[in-house]
Chains A and B, each alone.
Chain A
Amino acid sequence: MYEKIIVLYPELADFNFASGVIVLQNDSDGKGDYIAKWEHPTLAKPTDEELA
């Protein structure tokens, strides 16, 4: 998930993903990583198609 987001938005390479603005999460339930929260002020949340 993270790698795909960075390819889509290279400017997020130095972004602090621990800040809570964008939260990538894995609930250890076998379903893998997902975007739990996306509140970036200028970049749109990637679509499922963009992350596929």
Chain B
Amino acid sequence: MSSIVISGDTSGAITLSAPAVAGTNTVTLPAATGTVQVSGNMPAFSVYAGSNSAGQTSATFAKVALNTETFDTANAFDATTNYRFQPTVAGYYQINASIYITAASNLSAYQLTFYKNGASYTAPNYSTTVLAGIILSGSVLIYLNGSTDYLELYAYAATVAGTWVITAGSNTTMSGSLVRSA
């Protein structure tokens, strides 16, 4: 027998198959209750800003328009309208992000902030060192309920004068994946 089929009570089936490769291997399941995680239920994504977002007002939180996908295995990232990650699998997600911001007349304060469900969730960094530009980085391990919860990336900056820019490219990016199901 090369596979075992377990049928659902009403519909569906799961097939456990051994590879057609010589040798004996062992899969040990833990003595615990939970959902087995396989690639099909572990969303992962990587996106970046494909264009500059100029003219940002001083002292304002601006959503980062992450409009270009490198990959999005579960189609859970909206890179067109809302620039948000809203997975359909509940669990704990490791999220990493960076933002490259600049200002012609220097930045006077800046911060990377993760927003959950439209409100600030965590701001891993904040600085007031005056400079022309900086790449901010941050990460968070966050629970998303697999239905209504969503995550967005915001940049905050105050300037010495004038506006500031969220600069496109590989320095303005966000990526993440499920590390533990609910």
Contact = CB atoms under 8 A, between A and B. Distances in A.
B63 A33 contact: no
Given A17-B158, A18-B109, A18-B126, A2 B120 contact: no
Interface stretch (B1-9, B16-24, B51-59): B51-59
Q: How large is the interface on A (under 10, 10 to 19, 20 to 34, 35 or more residues)?
A: 10 to 19
B164 to A, nearest CB: 11
Contacts of B158: 17-18
A26 B63 contact: yes
A2 B63 contact: no
Contacts of B59: 2, 17-18, 24
Given A18-B109, A18-B111, A20-B120, A2 B60 contact: yes
B120 A1 contact: no
A40 to B, nearest CB: 14
A26 B61 contact: yes
B177 to A, nearest CB: 24
Nearest to A24: B60
Given A17-B158, A18-B111, A2 B56 contact: no
Contacts of A1: 57, 60
Contacts of B142: none
Contact of A18 (B56, B82, B83, B123): B123
Interface in B62-100: 62-65, 81-83
A3 B57 CA distance: 9
What 9 A-B pairs are tightest by C-beta distance, nearest first? A17-B59, A24-B60, A28-B63, A26-B62, A28-B65, A2-B59, A25-B61, A27-B63, A2-B57
Contacts of B82: 29
B156 interface: yes
A16 interface: yes
Contacts of B65: 28
Nearest to B62: A26
B109 A16 contact: yes
B80 to A, nearest CB: 12
Nearest to A36: B61
